[in-house]
Structure 1
Amino acid sequence: MAVIPMANTELVAVAWLLSAAGIEPGQVATTLPSDSAAWAENGFVHVVGAVGGSPQVDYALREPVVQIDTYAVNPGSGKPPWGKAASLMELIAAAAYQGAGMQRALTLLPGYPQARVMSAHFTSEPRRMPGDDSSYARYQADLALHWITL
């Protein structure tokens, strides 16, 4: 029996983040690219995965909390660009407050069903994560997404 592709929280989180104003294609994924030069100009949004939340019992509404990390780097410099990483996180915060990113179909990977994010909000204040040996600037926050499969 063939496996039927199903929407999941990581796919929905990536698609929703890519729909945010100011986020560029290729700037969001579940894995941080090893070549920092590829994302040095605009920074990168890493969807770490679900860290909490729960689905509804009586209907197919998913309510995960997803860890989001934003990264920025200055190649050839040991000084992390904290402002760039913070600004990238604030683009995500702004998207959560704008109705344009809600209540519309999100296209996931080819072959997967579409999903709709009903609402999104931060469950924690974005926080600076110092001490990276690579001199990356990293901010971290938890984002609650309420979504359904279409």
Structure 2
Amino acid sequence: MRCLVQRVTEASVRVDGALIGSIGRGLLILLGVSEEDDEATAEKMVRKLLSARIFEDGEGKTNLSLSDISGELLIISQFTLYADYRKGNRPSFIRAGSPEKAERLYEYFIEQCRKEVRRVEQGSFGADMKVSLTNDGPFTILYDSEELSRH
């Protein structure tokens, strides 16, 4: 599982011109699922993300978590996080999870986040989405479950 996490002051997602989700201060998470992922992977990733101290305290140091600031989440599915670009000019997505598996784990990931975060918005799985954001910092981190399991 890969999560491209952006600290934002605001973010939104539209499908066919209609606003389907928006947040204020918090995190925009672009979520990619691989064939190796399962519910345990999703739970581990949620714990890591929600406890990450990536928001600034009163002294300007990144000491606060999402819950410390009562932040919000916008979660968007993005299979392209598993692009393999080593051969040729067109990326391969063979490592991305099947649509059925990816959607199931995407919904599970959101469900786990909703247990801990007061406001969780989401995109529409498989839709052509237009995502807008104001990155705060900018501050962007790539979380990869393969890296988490090595430690």
> Whose strand proportion is higher, 1 or 2?
2
**TM-score normalized by structure 1?**
0.29
Q: Tell which has more relative contact order, 1 or 2 (C-alpha 8 A, sep 6+).
A: 2
**TM-score normalized by structure 2?**
0.29
